Structure 1
């Protein structure tokens, strides 16, 4: 480590992955600076105040896959305060026969047994076992043994692959064959082979494609469903809002000496002798470092570095990286809590999913394929104030809606009229399940993919910084030849959701990238 440098490592972006990378490196004694253009932590996992006395999740609103290794190493929930509350998932039905899922068990909201409860439990159990293998792979760089097996540096890789193989062996021959059979198949066929179509099946289909430009019939959607079930299919609400997750990561980073600078945008990554040596800030300040980690997407990082530093084939691959966002986020301030006929009041606090059948989810995807606006979108709705009264005062509530299958770039662009039309469509769908909800709205915000990109830096406004189809996961994330976090020039690494293992609030890409940098011995 050179005393002449301003820092050993500079991390671009103070989202949870950037902060996880920074904390991991600082725990190993490196001098780390995190630079964030926004004046707020968190990226996709941040809070905002849409009205006085109201706190809302700007983008993501729940935890699905917070990596347990990351949480343990950083002391989240122990040394660093982070309180969460487990929530049920509720598959809403137009006829009021809503289905509640808790701990892998399904029942009707009124307590009646669901006819597909046993089939659902068996499928859920099987998928969570398989998801455990994917979770194991997420805690390390994607499998690969490039170079000589005699290289001592390959020993750890051999051990990791052996453990993965042992995990597959423990499944047994029949289960292992089933895992390999369904891994690349589609969620539509898998789910409907096991149960009848309806809200319970629709819930699984919606989870398989949340944030993706894909319908349940698309190949590989079983993989994305299993990826989402890495934490046993459980969901949790961070008390105080999603921003408390980012604050927890930041507190862990600061506790080990990280310098986190908000309102410091990076204008360029400086390169000398084919190595990243520092950054140029928007205000003209230069900071030097031995390595740079970027939690921005591949193309934004390439542009910051300069295309001349990348070979033609790499640029070609990155230009074809699929990262067109198809999710909109709608935030509503309500004068009171909406009533949902057929749903007990205490269940209103759950994750409310509007996907009344697998076929509904598939049809919801159709307009987006042709650049058209949705007419009946799949929606994930949360009323976080029902579980956490600190988020709103005076009886008000926040409604946070993640709307799947909006066109990334509709003809004529995302005009104000289109945003208003989307809001009207979404409110119309919500009214079918919660009559009178529209009359409770006192304030609204509609964020299309370009807005999400502008606010968070997520490339294309994509919920996961890039599609998670088989051509863009594992050894192909973000692109073939770039799967181990190293990016183009020496000392430059990707550490965001565009890197392995991918999206969701996990912290794994950041941690893995930091450990790869240390293994490479660049400092």
Structure 2
């Protein structure tokens, strides 16, 4: 679908990642004309596939689904992409690997784990708490600015009252426990009940996944609960993450959106403090009644011009915490690797190297000083074992998220530094899969700096900004700008740096579009 340049769209959406596409689809399904602009040649952002080597297609960056919200999918007219549920295998140096699926825990050889009942109880409790917090994910963060005589404010209060009622219905014991642990650190919570071993390591690693934080950092229990917002199931999409992105794009096209790739936005047009369209990198102009941006919050401000924001807003956005700590390493293998102590089903699972909570905390320490960890936390998956269509000629792809790796490495990301990161990753994997290095025929290393360069994600951060307690809900991305409207009339933030944050789920985009409609911008 194309339109003459003299026509005005109801909305232009900057960025064709899952959030941008979700925002566009939400508006288009309400009869609005929408144009999505993507600077790269393809859609998907971090949720895309790439040809890593001849005959090998792999998830370029993100490789698993965690928090797809069924209500968001239903509203977008999307059928959940075909996927398989994966067990998590927390690898152990002594070969006593721990298998976790839902609230069930056992050893890889099938024998009972002594902490299975304790884990099931903790999982049940945290999932219950997460469901309460999850009520907020599909709503705009509340504002009470209108006063008690304002109807909109009263509606906000009603939503908060519902949350309070849900908390009270938990019962006094659970309510006290929720309030006790909400802002505490994951390390203490975990080691109160578990030995400092691979099961504790898995819990600690999941509490800080993608974060510039260790499990001792305040607020990491909240992150644990965030991961359980939709049950905590870990799913591998068939066809890779690119298939997920295609699902979002197809929904947008079906709704009537115009998606343009290969030419980015250079500037947002602002007239009389109102967004009026965009100027593309090639100089062409697209007029619109509103603009939504799915890129980083600070970059969104820069695109409109800092002169349109007060000094305090500029200061807050400039100081937004978004230091990426996760590198992506893709390994093309000539055959399937052999992980000692794992059968074929478990080898195809989510493999985690985080042998204890202390291991995770120690892995975080070097990144504070601009260095990479010599014993990193690694989340690896071999998607070709579950989906052979990704590779040909007996090849396989091992996709690894490596944490902790600094965005700004001391000495810079030289070829030697990249080779060191690759070697560190292979050395850790070979502890559990001897000989894996001999299977590697091609490798790709993406540092946080590369991720920023290739996707625009600020700091190479997978969530565009830390999911810390000072950057969530009414403080996301910053205080005073949490309700998607971005300081200029008709200008909205719809990416991962907006509430409810990261993961491939599209909820931030959906929420932003709904708020734009509620605000009457397109009335």
TM range, smaller chain: over 0.9
Correspondence for 1:375? 374
Is 1:343 the equivalent of 2:347? no
Aligned length: 518
Unaligned runs of 5+ in 2: none
Structure 2 residue aligned with 1:31, among 30, 33, 38? Answer: 33
Correspondence for 1:439? 438
Is 1:83 the equivalent of 2:85? no
Map 1:201-220; keep pairs closer than 5 Å: 201-220=200-219
Aligned-partner Cα distance in 1 for 2:16–2:384: 26
Deviation at 1:486, TM superposition (A): 1.1
Aligned-partner Cα distance in 2 for 1:220–1:155: 30
Correspondence for 1:430? 429
Map 1:186-201; keep pairs closer than 5 Å: 186-201=185-200
Correspondence for 1:73? 75
Map 1:100-499; keep pairs closer than 5 Å: 100-499=99-498
TM-score of the superposed pair, with normalisation by structure 1: 0.97
Aligned-partner Cα distance in 1 for 2:482–2:248: 24
SS at match of 1:522: coil
Aligned-partner Cα distance in 2 for 1:246–1:162: 36
Deviation at 1:53, TM superposition (A): 1.9
Deviation at 1:103, TM superposition (A): 2.1
Deviation at 1:488, TM superposition (A): 1.8
1:466-496 per-residue CA deviation (whole Å, 9 max, x = no partner) reads 1111111111111000000111211111000
Deviation at 1:155, TM superposition (A): 5.0
SS at match of 1:287: strand
Aligned-partner Cα distance in 2 for 1:281–1:144: 34
Deviation at 1:284, TM superposition (A): 0.4
Deviation at 1:162, TM superposition (A): 2.9
- Matched-pair contact (CA < 8 Å) for 2:143–2:153: no
Deviation at 1:159, TM superposition (A): 3.6
Aligned-partner Cα distance in 2 for 1:110–1:355: 19
- Matched-pair contact (CA < 8 Å) for 2:146–2:152: no
Aligned-partner Cα distance in 2 for 1:483–1:166: 24
Correspondence for 1:45? 47
SS at match of 1:138: coil
SS at match of 2:177: helix
Deviation at 1:346, TM superposition (A): 1.4
- Matched-pair contact (CA < 8 Å) for 2:8–2:289: no
SS at match of 1:161: helix
SS at match of 2:236: strand
SS at match of 2:266: strand
Aligned-partner Cα distance in 2 for 1:75–1:240: 20
- Matched-pair contact (CA < 8 Å) for 1:54–1:392: yes
Correspondence for 1:64? 66
Deviation at 1:84, TM superposition (A): 1.2
Aligned-partner Cα distance in 2 for 1:469–1:207: 14
Query: Against the structure 1 CA distance between its residues 318 and 57, is the aligned structure 2 distance closer, same or farther, given a 3 Å change threshold?
Result: same
SS at match of 1:269: strand
